[in-house]
Amino acid sequence: MLFLRPPGVYRPQGDTHLLTEELHRAGMPPGARVLDVCTGTGAVAMSAAGGGAGHVSAVDVSARAVYAARLNARLRGLRVRVVRGDLLGPFAGERFDVILSNPPYVPAVSGPPPAHGKARAWDAGGDGRALLDRICAHAPRHLAEGGMLMMVHSVLSGVEATLSALRDQGLKASVVARRNEPFGPVMRGRAAELRARGLIEPGQRDEELVVIRADRVESRS
Ligand SMILES: C[S@@+](CC[C@H](N)C(=O)[O-])C[C@H]1O[C@@H](n2cnc3c(N)ncnc32)[C@H](O)[C@@H]1O
């Protein structure tokens, strides 16, 4: 599927496709309220909207991404509410049946995540967890009873850290999909640094992506 993509907006790729495939394999409750966090072109949100969701919302910190996602949805005749903001910040008090995210997760060579520029789509602090940890901390309180969070990231940014952060919030979390993807230009460009830090093996040319699913189990009362 082709998406309108202004300069600097993330091109949907292997991680995007792995997440949408897994969403459709899992299925959504009819009429589900869905939120796509870090929407970029809106590819994941539109996949949910076209797959039977009731109300789809999406958020991105980038003004260009918000513009692209709104336009892409409109061009397809899909209803998606796209807002500009920081992760779940704009959704105070709202609950969703499904929260989806393909956030920035690439371990950076140095410093905190950038505040501007195209690297904001992938750079995620030294350990790759700057955004993941915040999503794990805040998404659970936005899940309706019986709702699920589905998120994709690389094993390089720590699968156990994600699982235990979500379990600590009372969710039932597991890895539901894995796929090896060849390094793209960003990973190739920082391979030497990641190798020096022991994050990848000498000669490694691909990374494993995982989809993590976390369910808010209904309470019995
Ligand atoms: C890896 S891209 C994923 C884009 C899209 N979901 C996809 O799968 O193709 C990550 C996106 O997160 C956005 N982003 C980065 N920091 C953010 C933040 N603090 N709040 C919301 N979005 C953010 C970037 O602008 C970028 O569009």
Tens-place pLDDT, residues 158-170: 999 999 999 999 9
Classify domain 14-215 by CATH number.
3.40.50.150
CB neighbours (10 Å) of residue 185? 7
DSSP, res 106: B
Average pLDDT for 54-60 = 97
What are the structure tokens assigned to 99, written together? 């929260």
Task: Say how many Å lie between the CA of residue 104 and the centre of ligand 1.
Answer: 6
Q: Say yes or no: CB of residue 125 within 6 Å of ligand 1.
A: no
pLDDT score at 218: 75
Instruction: Tell me if 62 CB under 6 Å of ligand 1.
Output: yes
What mean pLDDT value characterizes the chain?
Answer: 95
Lowest-confidence region among 78-82, 114-118, 130-134, 209-213: 114-118
Residue 159 has a pLDDT of: 98
Query: Rounded to an integer, what distance in angstroms lies between the CA atom of residue 205 and that of residue 68?
Result: 31
- The number of the ligand 1 atom at minimal distance from the alpha carbon of 113 is 16
- CA atoms within 13 Å, Cβ hemisphere of 188: 6
Which ligand 1 atom sits nearest the alpha carbon of residue 86? 20
Q: Could you read off the pLDDT of 149-208 as tens digits, one per residue? A: 999 999 999 999 999 999 999 999 999 999 999 999 999 999 999 999 999 999 999 999
pLDDT value, residue 88: 98
Residue of the CA atom closest to atom 9 of ligand 1: 12
Stretch 97-110: mean pLDDT, rounded? 95
In terms of Cα–Cα distance, which of 54, 80, 61, 71 is closest to 6?
A: 71
pLDDT score of 109 more than 90: no
Q: Whose CA is nearest to atom 13 of ligand 1?
A: 38
pLDDT over 90 (residue 221): no
What pLDDT is recorded for position 191?
Answer: 94
